[in-house]
Amino acid sequence: MTQMQADFSGRNAFVTGAGGGMGLQIARDLIGAGAQATLFDVKPAPDDLPAGARYVQADLRSPTDVAQAMTDCHEAAGRLDYLVNAAGVLLLGRDRSLVDIDLDVWDDVLAINLKGAALTARHAIPMMKQTGGGAMVHISTIQCVRGDDAPQDAYQASKAGLIAMSKSIAIQFAGDGIRSNTILPGPTMTPMQQRWVDKPELKNATEAAVPLGRIGTPHDMANATLFLLSDAASFVTGTELIVDGGVLAKP
């Protein structure tokens, strides 16, 4: 898989959901391109942690945990240039229509997928201001811009909230040199999609529905993220980049 080429030397990043999947790949590619990075996840550090990574195992729902991790990240480099909110939960079987979802499940999904991103951005913005700006990417989903006959309403609502939050950040802090954008992945092979491993026929059916004929990979999402973080996207803010193999373009 071809990797997005950019030089992130001397830059510092904070990546949530970096214990696997998209978040880990994004962090790995940032470090490979010269950046320092703090990887934050509630899961233990993966065995294939990139060399030089700072890993924090903590709870994104905890304002105290987030504040401490981001302060340590900033102090380690004396700056914060990038924030990637890649953390997310999809509670298949428990996340369902709003008419019958357990409200504790609703609250937990929004606490991780949306409030957690608000907490990190709340700390990142003043840190970025200190060095003249920075860039954020928030990982949403194409599912938040369409309905679903098998709904996961908490997941979809939380990911739609990310788009609104990102746009607001982009407008509020453009004058401070801070950019904020959102990626909308289509079907992507990550640990969240264990069902495709357990039932390959589901994966095959999903691939058949994608115009480009395959599901996405963490590399696809990492390439899009690094582009939006990079100086090549210096005039891009407050928008969404759809990375879905053509799914949303279908009639």
Q: What is the mean pLDDT of residues 103-123?
A: 97
The answer to whether residue 245 scores a pLDDT higher than 80 is yes
Q: Which pLDDT score, from 0 to 100, does residue 196 have?
A: 64
Q: Tell me the pLDDT tens digit for each residue of 76-87.
A: 999 999 999 999
Q: What ranges do the domains of the chain cover?
A: 12-246
According to the model, what pLDDT value does residue 203 have?
Answer: 79
**Whole-number pLDDT of residue 193:** 66
Look at residue 165 in the predicted model and tell me its pLDDT: 98
Q: Which residue has the tokens 């214990």?
A: 19
Mean pLDDT within 211-237: 96
pLDDT score of 216 more than 70: yes
Fold annotation for 12-246: Rossmann fold (3.40.50)
- Each residue of 188-202: pLDDT tens digit? 887 766 666 677 778
Query: Per residue in 134-175, pLDDT tens?
Result: 999 999 999 988 888 788 999 999 999 999 999 999 999 999
Give percent of the chain with pLDDT exceeding 70. Answer: 96
Nearest-angstrom CA–CA distance, 199 and 93:
16
Distances in Å between the alpha carbon of 189 and those of 8, 66, 129, 186? 26, 27, 36, 10
Residue 207: the pLDDT is: 87
Q: Which of 50-54, 97-101, 178-182, 202-206 has the lowest mean pLDDT?
A: 202-206
Provide the whole-model pTM: 0.94
Tell me the per-residue pLDDT of 37-63, one tens digit each, with 9 for 90 and over.
999 999 999 998 988 899 999 999 999
**Residue 117, pLDDT above cutoff 70:** yes
Task: Check residue 192 and give its pLDDT.
Answer: 65
- Confidence (pLDDT) at 93: 84
pLDDT in tens, 1-31: 666 678 999 999 999 999 999 999 999 999 9
Q: Which residues are catalytically annotated?
A: 155
Q: What is the mean pLDDT of the chain?
A: 93
CA distances to 79, 194, 201, 217, 241 from 213, in Å: 42, 20, 15, 13, 20
